[in-house]
Amino acid sequence: MSTRPRTAVATKSRPSTASGRSTPDAQPVVLPADRERLTGFYRQMMLIRRFEERAARAYTQALIGGYCHLNLGEEAAVVGLMSALRPSDYLFTNYREHGYAITRGIHPNRVMAELYGRSDGVSKGWGGSMHMFDLEKRMLGGYGIVGGQIPLATGAALAIDYRDGDEIVLCTMGDGTTNIGAFHESLNIAALWNLPIVYVIINNRLGMATTVDRASAEPDLYKRASAYRMASDRVDGLDPVAVFEAAQRAVAMARSGKPFLLEVVTERLRGHSVVDPAKYRSDEEMALVTERDPVHTFAAMLVADGLLDEQELAKIDAEATLQATEAAAFAENSPFPDVSTLFDYTYATPVANDSHRLPGQPLFEPAPIPDYGVNR
Amino acid sequence: MSIMTYRQALHDTLRSEMLRDENVFLMGEEIGLFEGAYKITAGMLDEFGEKRVRDTSIAEEGFTGAAIGAAMLGLRPVVEIMTINFSLLALDQIVNHAAKIYGMFGGQARVPLVIRTPGGGGQQLGATHSQNIELFYAFVPGMKVVAPSTPADAKALLIAAIRDDDPVLFLENLSLYNVKGEVPDGDVPAEIGKAAVTRTGRDITLIGYSRMAHVAFQVAQQLAESDGLDIEVIDLRSLRPLDRETVVESVKKTHAAVILEDDWLTYGIGAEIAATISDGAFDYLDAPVRRVAMAEVPLPYSKPLETAALPSAEDVIGAIRQTLDAVGRRRYPMGEKS
């Protein structure tokens, strides 16, 4: 891993951008949008940051169970991608999805309540950290099985195409997912049928502890699209503006009926999940990762470009912290689902002989013991 | 009412459901140009076009998963998986996704999906193409699994499956496609989750599904004529949910049961039926519950070996006679018969 100069625009330089689309090193940043958009990006990134830190704390307090994978380090990627979507577009993602849920417009309270397993949770407490779903915001699921969301997202794009709709599907996945069969089968189908979908690889360079180099025979993951004659691109995932611009191009292509594969190179600031101390990463590596922290570098850029001052940054931070705190309080006060609802969601269409038996109950009420006349 | 084959009943039902609802469409390998490996979809590409009769690449996980995703957006895909053996390649999408999505997201998304697929051995297709692994799907809450044995049920259950908002695995059988039977006119769906008593009797209960429900009915007719036996036959029709009540009520009346299954005995569907009888009719049994099931081997290619491994009508008749002998010894220990 090479070091790089630490300048305000350096976030542009990190991945080798094979497409040549990203701004080369040392050129001034060309701002594509106004102050409001950029400060909006920062506000959303900071909200993810503070929300995830609050979630990690709640997890260590045993208020959150199961697995808990955080978007820390991926804030720029999440915000850049989500900003390129219309409200009517669909999102399928994986189990590292709290930030996507919030940025898609689901209230942080409902996301936190889901983490706490409460009835006000976005999936009513049935999904947990890995399975957030909201039809209204068209977030059609976090999915816990690596690669499981990819065929589903492809099918959603098929449904859009079937109805001649103008929505698109954006489907995110981790770098490790590109080795699973479902990835290849789905890209093949999407390319054959010209489906309106953008596949996004969030490449944080680690599948748990296994690096891309050790898992993928073609470590330039965006190149895998070429096997399906699909257009692709790679972008610096630590720069929300670069991600936004690349995502806009990808989304436009999908909307024209051509699937697209976008690789977003990012960083994982913590372990694979909250309980992973990531001892397999060296102190030197972690120092570099910390130095590249996308929230901090974007803040520095905004200050350097005169878009925000330190006081405004602090205000945004305070607001995000307050939202995260409020979310935790809301979650803690939300009731657990009533146990009487246990059998409410097995089937959408009620069906004869659906079992409502609890573990200790017999299948049939015990029959009276026959009277053989022995005790007379 | 008309007489037609199981194959024709499936074909006609798919066609009429597609005419009724434009959200219904077909996906699968070789269902269009080739007209289906078993010709269920003959003529349908010509009639409905490529949008609604979609030939897929050989990628069961990909296209089954895509059907699930399309169903989440309100379409009603009917997927054909060429044989149930190949469904193993889609197991993750079926078990971890189709069966989970409604519950896992708190009831926010429905998966109105039908997976049609034939099971069955006896065609000398060897170990990987002759399995009966419907149990894998019947094991999973969230799935519905139906297994019609007659042309009439093929129609009524397929209508029900297509109109149902949950994922339904629709089990067909290679040896049933040419079976003929009466099929009612109209489009009345069957009730999923309900077994059918296809023949009433007092001496013993035979329980089966798919091909073995057909065999059970034939054996009962044969033994009525040859031995004057009065045999009750239950066609389970639905493997999940399972109609335990119908099974138990029958055994309470006949006091004896033989279970017929084309799958392997150990951990098979029959084990669940036997446990049900034990739970619900223990005090009524006059003989141990007997199971007739496939030999526990990967099914061989060579005909004599294949035939030996698969349950036959003769195997069923033998099991019935032995069970009735046991009943006789218990009911009439002194050898008297009144």
3-state secondary structure of B118: strand
pLDDT, residue B335, reads 64
Interface test with B, best of A137, A150, A162 (most B CBs within 10 A): A162
- Distance from the Cα of A56 to chain B's closest Cα (Å) equals 23
Q: Which of B106, B192, B193 sits opposite A345 (nearest CB)?
A: B106
pLDDT, residue B337, reads 53
Judged by a CB distance cut-off of 8 A, whether residue B240 touches chain A is no
Q: Which residues of B touch A344 (CB under 8 A)?
A: 107
Q: At what angle do helices A35-60 and A240-255 cross, to 10 degrees?
A: 100
Which secondary-structure segment (H or E) carries B25? strand B24-28
Domain residue spans in chain A?
62-292+331-341
Given a cut of 60, is residue B338 above it in pLDDT?
no
- Distance from the Cα of A198 to chain B's closest Cα (Å) equals 15
Indicate the pairing of strand A197-203 with strand B144-146. unpaired
Query: Catalytic site residues of B?
Result: 60, 129
Specify whether the CB–CB gap between B179 and B229 falls below 8 A: no
pLDDT, residue A3, reads 34
Q: Residue B331: pLDDT band by 50, 70, 90 thresholds?
A: confident
Torsion of CA A191, A193, A196, A197, to 10 degrees: -40
Q: Which residues of B touch A106 (CB under 8 A)?
A: none
Residues forming a β-bridge with B79:
B27, B115
Q: How many CB atoms lie within 10 A of CB A261?
A: 27
Q: Using 50 as the pLDDT threshold, list the residues of chain A that sit under it.
A: 1-15, 17-28, 30
- How many Å apart are CA B159 and CA B164, to the nearest integer? 9
Q: Residue B8: pLDDT band by 50, 70, 90 thresholds?
A: very high
Closest chain B residue to A127, measured at CA: B104
Which chain B residues in 242-301 lie under 8 Å from chain A, judged by CB atoms? 242-245, 248, 276, 279-280, 282-283
**Token representation of residue A314:** 């602090």
- How many Å apart are CA B17 and CA A100, to the nearest integer? 39
**Token representation of residue A197:** 């979908």
A158 with B69: Cβ contact below 8 A: yes
pLDDT, residue B332, reads 73
Q: Which residues of B touch A97 (CB under 8 A)?
A: none
Q: How many CB atoms lie within 10 A of CB A159?
A: 25
A156 with B70: Cβ contact below 8 A: yes
Q: How many beta-carbon pairs below 8 A join chains A and B?
A: 181
Specify whether the CB–CB gap between A239 and A12 falls below 8 A: yes
Q: How many residues does this entry show for chain A?
A: 376
Torsion of CA A156, A161, A163, A166, to 10 degrees: 90
- How many Å apart are CA A151 and CA B68, to the nearest integer? 8
Specify whether the CB–CB gap between B35 and B181 falls below 8 A: no
**Token representation of residue A348:** 């959408």
Give me the CATH topology for the region B196-331.
Rossmann fold (3.40.50)
Closest chain A residue to B58, measured at CA: A185
Given a cut of 90, is residue B142 above it in pLDDT?
yes
A123 with B104: Cβ contact below 8 A: yes
pLDDT, residue A288, reads 93
Domain residue spans in chain B?
2-183, 196-331
Judged by a CB distance cut-off of 8 A, whether residue B187 touches chain A is no
- How many Å apart are CA A239 and CA A259, to the nearest integer? 23
| Higher pLDDT among residues A206 and B336, named by residue | A206
Which secondary-structure segment (H or E) carries A109? helix A108-115
ipTM of the complex: 0.95
Q: How many alpha carbons fall within 13 Å on the CB side of residue A194?
A: 8
pLDDT, residue A373, reads 67
Nearest to A347 by CA among B110, B262, B259: B110
- How many Å apart are CA B148 and CA B159, to the nearest integer? 12
Q: How many residues does this entry show for chain B?
A: 338
A347 with B105: Cβ contact below 8 A: no
**Does B2-183 match B196-331 in CATH topology?**
yes
Judged by a CB distance cut-off of 8 A, whether residue B21 touches chain A is no
- How many Å apart are CA A48 and CA B44, to the nearest integer? 51
pTM of the complete model: 0.93
Residue type, A257: G
**DSSP codes of every residue in A168-213:** -EEEEEEGGGGGSHHHHHHHHHHHHTT--EEEEEEE-SEETTEEHH
Interface test with B, best of A195, A364, A371 (most B CBs within 10 A): A364
Interface test with A, best of B108, B192, B240 (most A CBs within 10 A): B108
Give me the CATH topology for the region B2-183.
Rossmann fold (3.40.50)
The yes or no reply on domain A62-292+331-341 and CATH 3.90.870.10 is no
Q: Which residues of B touch A354 (CB under 8 A)?
A: 193, 241
Which chain B residues in 23-82 lie under 8 Å from chain A, judged by CB atoms? 25, 51, 56-57, 59, 61-75, 77
Interface test with A, best of B95, B105, B164 (most A CBs within 10 A): B105
| Angle (nearest 5°) at CA B271 between B266 and B272 | 140
Q: At what angle do helices A310-333 and A35-60 cross, to 10 degrees?
A: 40
With a CB cutoff of 8 Å and minimum separation 6, the contacts of B64 are A151, B79, B81, B87, B90, B93, B94, B98, B115
- How many Å apart are CA A213 and CA A226, to the nearest integer? 19
Q: Where are the alpha helices (DSSP H) in A229-309?
A: 240-255, 283-291, 294-304
Phi and psi at B266, nearest 5°, equal -65, 120
